[in-house]
Amino acid sequence: MISIAVLGYGTVGSGVVEVIEKNKEVIDKRAGKKIRVKYILDLRDFPGDPYADRVVHDINVILQDPEVTIICETMGGNEPAFTYSMQALKAGKSVCTSNKELVANHGAELIRTAKENYCNYLFEASVGGGIPIIRPLNAALTAERIELISGILNGTTNYILTRMDQEGCDFETSLKEAQEKGYAERNPEADVEGYDACRKIAILASLMTGKTVRYEEIYTEGITKITREDFLYAHKMNLFIKLLASVREADGGYYAMVAPFLIGENSPLHSVNDVFNAIFIRGNTLGDSMYYGRGAGKLPTASAVVSDVIDCAKHGRTHIVCLWDEEKLPLCSIDGAYRRFFVRAQKGCEAKARELFGEIELVDAGLENEFGFVTAALTEKEFAEKSGQLSGFISRIRVEEA
């Protein structure tokens, strides 16, 4: 029998316990041993909960128990999650986590520590919730030189954008619903400002390159400036607004960014709605592939954590190779990235828009005092310079090229 401990009995942690109970027959069979939850660490007690007797408040109870060989870290945040994870790994206990903030910050160091101590640090749930994406990158796609990863990596924002687009709901109401469904981060600013998607693409970029891509270096914009008017224009153009996170190899370097984009029906991501996420990967010999599923939520995320527990159980004290070095990979500036932009501007500055941007496609969404237009392709730097000279400029959204 393998005894495990769950750190943090919130949305994901309670899901881990539930998945292990619900699917115990298949889990035990696939792990080759019975897997049982011996401890749950949390700040609170849970009177009346069937697992209330396993709740402890001192990490040392878990660290000092030789029976516990696998720990699920589902507390979130950097500390004390980092300290507890390091202590566990140094004691030879494998750690399985959903905590992308910690993985993005210290992934390479935690993996090295696991390797040095003949155990594992696994993080399938840290990107895309229940979607298998870390294991494919570390196993099935290792023959590929990956040229592009582009995805919808945040369930909360995709839920909000879908509700605004399809139901005309407002931003605040949609965010509240996402929070009630357990999708959002404790501080939902991380979702709506794009920080969560940024950490996730940093993790994927690190696995793609084998080096550490620091999330602080990734240009990031969230969805807080997207309005109902933007959707009126998008409908008029038959386009969809999605928060995309991407990393691309080009010109001998890597470009990464997180921002809302207008995408067309020819994009495989256009129909990814609600809490669903999808990750599009282009390999040099494989070509295009895509991974789709629920990007957040209790049971889908817990399922991914438990799949890591099973992997740890199967491997015992054998380290599963994960190539992610602590050496930092500098990213290229996005200034030179080349694309079209959709712009909203006040009526009366059409001539100036043409003078600055040359040929433009006008879009009339029936709004009284403004109009929209799409530019020809130009660099981010040129766009910033030109739009700064357009006095009636209201806002812009990037247009994804298929």
Residues belonging to the binding site for L-homoserine are 185
The residue (of 300 and 372) whose beta carbon lies closer to ligand HSE is 300
Do the strands 2-7 and 35-41 form a parallel or antiparallel pair, or are they unpaired?
parallel
**Measured distance CA(76)–CA(389) in Å, rounded:** 44
Residues 301-330 that bind ligand NDP (CB under 6 A): 301
Residues 6+ apart with CB under 8 A from 21: none
Stretch that binds ligand HSE, among 35-43, 151-159, 283-291, 376-384 (CB under 6 A): 151-159
331-336 contacts at long range (C-beta below 8 A, 24 or more positions apart): 331/213, 331/217, 331/218, 331/253, 331/254, 331/255, 331/256, 332/250, 332/251, 332/253, 332/254, 332/255, 334/219, 334/255, 334/257, 334/380, 335/379, 335/380, 335/381, 336/379, 336/380, 336/381
Question: Contact 281/149 with Cβ under 8 angstroms?
Answer: yes
Residues 237-296 that bind ligand HSE (CB under 6 A): 295-296
Give the C-alpha distances (Å, rounded to integers) separating 337 from 148, 150, 390.
14, 15, 21
Among 38, 93, 200, 211, the one annotated catalytic: 200
Applying CB under 6 A, the site for ligand NDP has a residue count of 27
Stretch that binds ligand NDP, among 98-106, 280-288, 312-320, 366-374 (CB under 6 A): 98-106
Q: Which does 154 bind (CB under 5 to 8 A by kind): ligand NDP, ligand HSE, none?
A: ligand HSE
The reply to whether 305 sits near ligand HSE by the rule CB under 6 A is no
Residues 125-154 that bind ligand NDP (CB under 6 A): 125, 129
For ligand HSE, the binding residue among 82, 123, 183, 261 (CB under 6 A) is 183
The reply to whether 370 sits near ligand HSE by the rule CB under 6 A is no
Residues in the annotated binding site? 7-14, 100, 185
If DSSP states are collapsed to H, E and C, what string results for 219-275? Answer: EECCCCCCCHHHHHHHHHHCCEEEEEEEEEEECCEEEEEEEEEEECCCCCCCCCCCC
Residues in the annotated binding site for NADPH? 100
The reply to whether 41 sits near ligand NDP by the rule CB under 6 A is yes
The residue (of 152 and 345) whose beta carbon lies closer to ligand HSE is 152
3-state secondary structure of 399: strand
The residue (of 113 and 156) whose beta carbon lies closer to ligand HSE is 156
Q: Which does 156 bind (CB under 5 to 8 A by kind): ligand HSE, ligand NDP, none?
A: ligand HSE
The reply to whether 95 sits near ligand NDP by the rule CB under 6 A is no
Work out how close the CB of 62 gets to ligand HSE at its nearest, in angstroms, rounded to a whole number.
24
- Please, where are the H alpha helices in 121-170? 134-138, 155-167
Q: Which does 191 bind (CB under 5 to 8 A by kind): ligand NDP, ligand HSE, none?
A: ligand HSE
Q: Would residue 386 show up in a list of annotated catalytic residues for this protein?
A: no
The reply to whether 19 sits near ligand NDP by the rule CB under 6 A is no
**Measured distance CA(201)–CA(128) in Å, rounded:** 10
Helix, strand, coil percentages, rounded to 5, for the chain: 40, 25, 35
> Which residue ranges make up the site for ligand NDP (CB under 6 A)?
8-13, 41-44, 74-76, 80, 98-101, 125, 129, 182-183, 185-186, 296-297, 301
| Catalytically active residues, by annotation | 200
